[in-house]
Amino acid sequence: MAASSTGAARSRATGASGAPSKDVRGAILAEATRLFREHGVDGFSMRQIADAIGYSATTIYLHFKDKNHLMYAVCESGFAEFGASLAAAAASESDARERLRAIGRAYVDFALTHPLHYDVMFIRPKEWAIGPLTDARVGVGPEDPQRADPESFAELVQAVEAAVSARVFEGTIHQGADAREIAMRFWAAIHGVVALAISMNDQMRGFDHDAVRARGEVAIDAALGASR
């Protein structure tokens, strides 16, 4: 019995395709990603993944420390895309004000096209203790284990600093405030729009894609333009 089930796992792991497979880690990651995309963060269990790829659940622990680390690996590409997208948006505009707008738009866009990733990253990061903000990245990212701000936020702060220098906030409510604080306000304004949309779209109407995108635009304008 043990032999037969082992054999079954083997044959499925090696795959019908012949030789190249045996990339168990890759298979786990692929199946986990599929489950995450399909059923969200809840339809995601170790045994489900293991069954689907023809291995026992404990095999996963040979490749990932625990569920959080697997989850992190699943989301890593999303995290990378998030960072790259914001960086690209920041680079796309030379005008300081327009650069902030572009960053904000990219942020909304990411949230709408990857709501599951956004959920894990910014809406309930505590539950997963993963993502660029946590020590799950220690070992992957910088060695310093003290929680540093995420790179993307640092980039936002930089963009705000440029805007401050360009006197974008002169005469607005943000005048005189710390760049970091202004960035926080900016972040909060946009997070509010998308987080509400993702958290509430089952419970309430008014959260369709277009409405949210428009609302994001308004939030950016409000954050940039409010005069005191």
Partner DNA sequence: CCATCCTACTTAACAGTGTTAAGCGCGTCA
Partner DNA sequence: TGACGCGCTTAACACTGTTAAGTAGGATGG
Interacting residues with DNA (CB under 7 A): 2-3, 5-6, 9-10, 13, 22, 24, 44-48, 50, 54-59, 61-62, 66-68
Among 125, 151, 158, 213, which residue interacts with a second copy (rule: CB under 8 A)? 125
Buried-exposed string 118-129: b where 16+ CB fall within 10 A, e elsewhere: bbbbbbeeeebe
Choices 49-57, 63-71, 76-84, 123-131 (CB under 8 A): range interacting with a second copy:
123-131
Q: What are the contacts of 146-149 at 24+ separation with CB within 8 A?
A: none
Footprint of a second copy on 168-187 (CB under 8 A): 173-174, 180-181, 184-185, 187
Query: What kind and span of H or E run contains 114?
Result: none
- Angstrom distance (rounded) from CA 141 to CA 76: 12
**174 DSSP assignment:** T
Rounded Cα distance, 195 and 49, in Å: 29
- 4, 17, 94, 227: residue in contact with a second copy (rule CB under 8 A): 227
* 193 is a site residue for a second copy (CB under 8 A): yes
Binding mask 36-55 for a second copy (x = CB under 8 A): ------x-------------
Task: Give the amino acid at 173.
Answer: I
> Binding to a second copy by residue 226, rule CB under 8 A?
yes
Distance linking the first and last C-alpha atoms of the chain: 76
Three-state SS at 172: strand
Q: Between residues 91 and 214, which has the closer beta carbon with respect to a second copy?
A: 214
Which residues contribute to the site for a second copy (CB under 8 A)?
A: 42, 122-127, 133-134, 147, 149, 153, 173-174, 180-181, 184-185, 187-193, 195-196, 199-200, 202-204, 206, 211, 215, 218-219, 221-223, 225-228
